Structure 1
Amino acid sequence: MPPTVIVRPLPAVATLKRRHRGLLYSLAAVVLIPLFITALYLGLVARDQYASTVGFTVRQEDGTSGATSLLGGLSQFVGTSGGSRDSDILYEFIQSQEIVSEISKRIDLVGLYSQNWPWDPVFALSPDATIEDLLDYWKRMVRISYDQSTGLMEVRVLAFSPEDAQKVASEVVRESQKMINDLNTTAREDTMRYALEDLDTSLTRLKGAREAMTQFRTRTQMVDPSSDLAGRMGVLNNLQQQLAQALIDRDLLLDQKGGPGDDPRLQQASRRIDVIRQRIVTERQSFTSATGEPSALPENYPSLISEYERLNVDQQFAEETYRAALAAVDVSRANAARQSRYLAAYVRPTLPETSEFPRSWDILGLMALFLTLAWAIAAMVFYSIRDRR
Structure 2
Amino acid sequence: MTTKPKVKKYDPNHASQAEGTVEARAEAISRIRKATQPAEEAPAGTELDAIKKEGLTGRQLRIARRMAQKHGLAATSDYDAVRLLRKKGIDPFPRSNLLDFAAGSSDNADAEDQAKDKITIQLPQTVKEKQQTLPGPEWSPAQRREFEIGQIQKDIARRRRRKLFGLFARLFAFVLLPTIIVGYYFYRIATPMYASESAFSILQADGGAGEIGGLLAGTQYATTQDSVATQEFLESKDALNRLERDTGFAEIFKQDWIDPIQRLPQDATLEEAFKLYKRMVTIGYDPSDGIIRMEVAAPDPDTAVDLSNLLISYAEEKINGLTELKREDQMRDALQSFEDAQEERRKAQEALIELQLQGAVLDPENVIAGLRARINEIEIQLQDKELELAALLDNLRPNKAKVDGVQADINRLEAVLEELNAEMLDASAGENSLARLSVRIQMAQADLAARDMMLQSAMQQMETARTEANRKVRYLTVSVNPVASQEPTYPRKFENTILAFLLFAGIYLMISLTTSVLREQVSS
Both structures adopt the same fold (TM-score exceeding 0.5)? yes
Q: Determine the structure 1 residue equivalent to 2:269.
A: 130
Matched, 1:351 2:491: no
Instruction: Give CA-to-partner distance per residue, 1:2-34, whole Å, 9 cap, x none.
Output: xx9x88566538234555555444333332222
1:209 corresponds to which of 336, 348, 352: 348
| Alpha-carbon separation, structure 1, partners of 2:406 and 2:224 | 96
Tell me if structure 1 keeps the 8 A contact 2:371–2:420: no
Instruction: Give CA-to-partner distance per residue, 1:118-164, whole Å, 9 cap, x none.
Output: 7331x333332223332332222111122346542221111223222
Q: Determine the structure 2 residue equivalent to 1:110.
A: 250
Tell me if structure 1 keeps the 8 A contact 2:388–2:406: no
Matched, 1:48 2:192: yes
Q: Determine the structure 1 residue equivalent to 2:508.
A: 375
| Alpha-carbon separation, structure 2, partners of 1:173 and 1:248 | 103
Tell me if structure 2 keeps the 8 A contact 1:56–1:345: yes
What is the letter of the counterpart of residue 385 of structure 1?
L
Q: Determine the structure 2 residue equivalent to 1:298.
A: 432
Tell me if structure 2 keeps the 8 A contact 1:110–1:126: no
Q: Determine the structure 1 residue equivalent to 2:103.
A: none
Shift of the 219–126 alpha-carbon distance from structure 1 to 2, 3 Å rule, reads same
| Alpha-carbon separation, structure 1, partners of 2:342 and 2:334 | 12
Tell me if structure 2 keeps the 8 A contact 1:50–1:165: yes
Shift of the 93–300 alpha-carbon distance from structure 1 to 2, 3 Å rule, reads same
Matched, 1:363 2:496: yes
Q: Determine the structure 1 residue equivalent to 2:33.
A: none
Q: Determine the structure 2 residue equivalent to 1:308.
A: 441
| Alpha-carbon separation, structure 1, partners of 2:306 and 2:445 | 67
Instruction: Give CA-to-partner distance per residue, 1:317-359, whole Å, 9 cap, x none.
Output: 545666787899999999999x954422111112223333333
Q: Determine the structure 2 residue equivalent to 1:267.
A: 407
Q: Determine the structure 2 residue equivalent to 1:92.
A: 232
Matched, 1:62 2:206: yes
Greater Rg over alpha carbons, structure: 2
| Alpha-carbon separation, structure 2, partners of 1:317 and 1:211 | 14
Tell me if structure 1 keeps the 8 A contact 2:201–2:476: yes
Matched, 1:254 2:398: no
Q: Determine the structure 2 residue equivalent to 1:293.
A: none
| Alpha-carbon separation, structure 2, partners of 1:365 and 1:240 | 120
Instruction: Give CA-to-partner distance per residue, 1:265-308, whole Å, 9 cap, x none.
Output: 34324424533553464355346433xxxxxx62462x544432
| Alpha-carbon separation, structure 2, partners of 1:162 and 1:155 | 15
Q: Determine the structure 2 residue equivalent to 1:68.
A: none
Matches within 5 A, 1:141-290: 141-148=280-287, 150-183=289-322, 201-256=340-395, 263-275=403-415, 277-279=417-419, 281-282=421-422, 285-286=425-426, 288-290=428-430
For residue 256 of structure 1, report the CA deviation from its aligned partner.
4.2
Shift of the 133–258 alpha-carbon distance from structure 1 to 2, 3 Å rule, reads farther
Q: Determine the structure 2 residue equivalent to 1:28.
A: 172
| Alpha-carbon separation, structure 2, partners of 1:355 and 1:246 | 123
| Alpha-carbon separation, structure 2, partners of 1:226 and 1:151 | 68
Q: TM-score, normalised by structure 2?
A: 0.57
For residue 229 of structure 1, report the CA deviation from its aligned partner.
3.8
Instruction: Give CA-to-partner distance per residue, 1:229-281, whole Å, 9 cap, x none.
Output: 43344334333433443333333333346799894234324424533553464
| Alpha-carbon separation, structure 2, partners of 1:246 and 1:261 | 15
What is the letter of the counterpart of residue 346 of structure 2?
K
Shift of the 299–360 alpha-carbon distance from structure 1 to 2, 3 Å rule, reads farther
For residue 374 of structure 1, report the CA deviation from its aligned partner.
3.0
| Alpha-carbon separation, structure 1, partners of 2:223 and 2:397 | 101
Tell me if structure 1 keeps the 8 A contact 2:382–2:410: no
Q: Determine the structure 1 residue equivalent to 2:260.
A: 120
Tell me if structure 1 keeps the 8 A contact 2:204–2:474: yes
Shift of the 310–370 alpha-carbon distance from structure 1 to 2, 3 Å rule, reads farther
Shift of the 335–376 alpha-carbon distance from structure 1 to 2, 3 Å rule, reads closer
| Alpha-carbon separation, structure 2, partners of 1:257 and 1:227 | 48
Shift of the 195–268 alpha-carbon distance from structure 1 to 2, 3 Å rule, reads same
Gaps of 5+ in 2: 1-139, 215-221
Instruction: Give CA-to-partner distance per residue, 1:177-218, whole Å, 9 cap, x none.
Output: 333444566667778877776665445334322321222122
| Alpha-carbon separation, structure 1, partners of 2:345 and 2:314 | 46
Q: Determine the structure 2 residue equivalent to 1:15.
A: 158
Secondary structure of the residue aligned to 1:12 is helix
Gaps of 5+ in 1: 65-72, 77-81, 291-296
Tell me if structure 2 keeps the 8 A contact 1:240–1:280: no
Structural RMSD (CA):
4.3
How many aligned positions are there? Answer: 362
Secondary structure of the residue aligned to 2:504 is helix
Tell me if structure 2 keeps the 8 A contact 1:247–1:273: no
| Alpha-carbon separation, structure 2, partners of 1:238 and 1:210 | 37
Tell me if structure 2 keeps the 8 A contact 1:51–1:158: yes
Shift of the 272–137 alpha-carbon distance from structure 1 to 2, 3 Å rule, reads same
| Alpha-carbon separation, structure 2, partners of 1:248 and 1:176 | 99
For residue 165 of structure 1, report the CA deviation from its aligned partner.
1.4
| Alpha-carbon separation, structure 2, partners of 1:149 and 1:258 | 117
Shift of the 220–150 alpha-carbon distance from structure 1 to 2, 3 Å rule, reads farther
1:101 corresponds to which of 230, 238, 241: 241
| Alpha-carbon separation, structure 1, partners of 2:368 and 2:278 | 81
What is the letter of the counterpart of residue 347 of structure 1?
V
